[in-house]
Structure 1
C-alpha cells in the first residue's frame, strides 16, 4: 500500500510539473500571431533609383516583448533593418541587428528613423502599386503582408538625402 501511495505521489508531482511546463509553453505568445501591423507603406521612387524603404507601426498587445531580427522582400536583392542617426548634423543610415517591440507597447518605423531598407530594387516602386515584406521575429515566427507604395515627404533635417545616397 505504501509503495502504491509513494508511486502515486511521484506521478502526481511529475504530472503537476508537466502541467506547469505545458501551461508555460502554451501561455507564451507567438510573435507573428500577436504583433499587429498598422499603416504599412513603401516609399515610391523614380525608375532607376536602386533603393527604397518600408515603414509601419508595430503594436504588441501582449506582456511578452518581441524583436524583429530580419526582413525580406521580393522587391529587392537585399532587405535590411535600419535606423537613421544624426552624426554631427549629418543624417546617416545604419543597419541594426534587431528592432525591439516592447511588451504592451509599439514601435514606429518612419522616415528619418527606424525602417526596413530595400537595397537593389528588383521592381519599380510606383505610387498605387504594391509589394510585400516578410518579418522574422526573435521566436523565428514569420509574418508576411502586402505593402502599398506611396509618395513620402522627406523628414526635416534629411537635407535632400534620400535612400539612394545610402552608404553601408
Structure 2
C-alpha cells in the first residue's frame, strides 16, 4: 500500500508542478496565469491579463507595466458612463492586503500599444511583461498567447 501511494505521489508531482508553472513571486505578491488572446490580423493593440494575489498584511500598488513587444504598455479599466461601457487608462491599481486583483476582459487589463514583434502574439507563443509594484518591486512574467480565453476560474474583480 505504501509503495502504491509513493508511486501515485511521484506520478502526480509533475502535474502539480506544471499547474504552478505560471506563478511569479515578488515580495508578498504572487502573479498567476498571465495570458493574452491571439492577435487578430491587422489589430493595432492587444490586451494582457493575469491575477495578482497579495498574501501580505499591507496593500501594494501596481504602478506600471512594460514589454519588448510594444512601444507602450498601459494599465486600463472599463467603467460604465451612462449606458455605455468605456475603457480608460489608470495611473496605478491597488492590490488589497490579504486579497487578490484580477485583470480580465471587461475589467482591469494591460493594453499594449504600438506593437513591435507581432510574431510573438500568435497562439502558443509567449512574451515577457514586467510589472512594477510600489512595495514588491519588479517582477517579469511570461504571457501565454492563446486562441481562446482560458476557462475562467475568476470573474472580473476590481479592488476598491
Q: What is the CA RMSD across the aligned residues, in angstroms?
A: 1.6
* Larger fraction in helix: 1
Give structure 2 stretches of 5+ with no counterpart: 1-24, 150-160
Shift of 1:73: 0.8
Counterpart of 1:104 in 2: which secondary structure? coil
Report the Cα distance in structure 1 between the residues aligned to 2:64 and 2:84, rounded to whole angstroms. 26
Report the Cα distance in structure 1 between the residues aligned to 2:50 and 2:139, rounded to whole angstroms. 13
Aligned to 2:127: 131
2:55 counterpart of 1:61 = yes
> Structure 1 length as normaliser, TM-score?
0.69
Matches within 5 A, 1:145-160: 145-152=141-148
Larger Rg: 1
Shift of 1:60: 0.3
Report the Cα distance in structure 2 between the residues aligned to 1:65 and 1:110, rounded to whole angstroms. 20
Deviation digits for residues 16-36 of structure 1 (CA, Å, limit 9, x no counterpart): xxxxxxxxxxxxxxx822210
Aligned to 1:101: 95
Report the Cα distance in structure 1 between the residues aligned to 2:91 and 2:66, rounded to whole angstroms. 14
2:117 counterpart of 1:88 = no
Deviation digits for residues 98-129 of structure 1 (CA, Å, limit 9, x no counterpart): 11111000000000000011011112211111
* Larger fraction in strand: 2
Q: Is the 8 A contact 2:28 2:136 kept in 1?
A: no
